[in-house]
Amino acid sequence: MLTGKTALVTGSTSGIGLGIAKSLAMHGANVVLNGFGDVDAAKAEFRDIDAEIGYHPADMGKPEQIADMVAYAQRTLGHLDILVNNAGIQHVAAVEDFPPEKWDAIIAINLTSAFHTTRLALPGMKANGWGRIINVASTHGLVASAQKSAYVASKHGIVGFTKSIALETATTGITVNAICPGWVLTPLVQKQVDARAAAEGVDDAEAKRRLLAEKQPSLQFTTPEQLGELAVFLCTPAADNIRGTAFNVDGGWAAQ
Ligand code: NAD
């Protein structure tokens, strides 16, 4: 379905980004991965998939490294058709205790990096007359939670950014949309489960149950695979006129 297409997925060495990268590759796209941690383990996930897989180690907090990564993707893949802005970090603290450097890092990685990748990828997409930009926002792009001011600000920001660029590209073959997951059991969320288990003196299973019960009416985690298949759908012709939307995949969280 995506044979001949190419994709760059930021923050794709684990969690949601890895799930989206795998879905795109399984549907035929060649993919450049990015992110930290165990890169070999991430690459091994693609062993049985017939797709070309590249990797660039850019830090999404560093604009010059982002530029190098986009150029690498364009060079190694020949062109860049699908850009998934997924890299993200979290920090949980009341605003008066929030370390300013954590605020800056969250805004840089969760929001500003998408400005840089988008401005650098768009000219090539325009030249080819086709493109997809998919921003992994969050339910926190639509509603807030206490103790997450930087994250909520960054995710509301990226939903707004999505709408703005969707308007700038509205008459082109390039669409720009956001995906807003609720709880997905990735390392980013496991940290919050661990903190809850420690603070409330409960085991891992009970901490997960409480986390879901508080926000996510389905009481089920969304999976990276489900988000990957939504990203694939957004790359199909059926989605040609879906522009500037924010898709909730949150078990009913934002419906409350
Ligand atoms: P994760 O921690 O499993 O993965 C984050 C990825 O980003 C990793 O590959 C990591 O190496 C990479 N990364 C972190 N900092 C980076 C940097 N400076 N430069 C480059 N790469 C960097 O987290 P996840 O849960 O898969 O989160 C992915 C995205 O989904 C984030 O934007 C997050 O806000 C969003 N999200 C997650 C959930 C959830 O419940 N897990 C819900 C809504 C939205």
Confidence of residue 62 (pLDDT cuts 50, 70, 90): very high
Q: What is the pLDDT of residues 95-151, one digit of tens each?
A: 999 999 999 999 999 999 999 999 999 999 999 999 999 999 999 999 999 999 999
Helices (H), 27-99: 39-44, 63-77
Residues in the chain: 256
215 with 94, same domain: the answer is no
Q: Does the CB atom of residue 136 touch ligand 1 within 6 A?
A: yes
Note whether 98 and 191 are same-domain residues.
no
pTM equals 0.98
3-state secondary structure of 186: coil
| Structural domain of 204 | 185-221
CB of 61 closer than 6 angstroms to any ligand 1 atom: yes
Same domain, 125 and 148: yes
Q: Are residues 166 and 244 in the same domain?
A: yes
Cβ of residue 187 lying under 6 Å from some atom of ligand 1:
yes
Q: How far is the CA of 90 from the centre of ligand 1 (A)?
A: 8
The total domain count for the chain is 2
Q: What confidence category does residue 162 fall into, taking pLDDT thresholds of 50, 70 and 90?
A: very high
- Does residue 123 share a domain with residue 58? yes
Residue of 9, 16, 148 with the most ligand 1 atoms within 8 Å of its CB, for mutation: 16
Task: Tell me if 164 is assigned to some domain.
Answer: yes
Position 1 in a domain: no
Cα distance from N-terminal residue to C-terminal residue, the chain:
36
Which residues, at least 6 apart from 99, have a Cβ–Cβ distance to it below 8 Å?
91, 93
| Residue 188 pLDDT exceeds 90 | no
65 belongs to a structural domain: yes
- 174 and 235 part of one domain: yes
Average pLDDT over residues 233-246: 98
Residues 134 and 209 both lie in one domain: no
* 243 within a domain of the structure (yes/no): yes
For residue 34, is it within any domain? Answer: yes
Confidence of residue 1 (pLDDT cuts 50, 70, 90): confident
Asked whether residue 69 is domain-assigned, the answer is: yes
Asked whether the predicted pLDDT for residue 164 surpasses 90, the reply is yes
Residues 109 and 149 in one domain: yes
Say if residue 48 is in the same domain as residue 117.
yes
For residue 151, indicate whether it is catalytic: yes
Same domain, 103 and 189: no
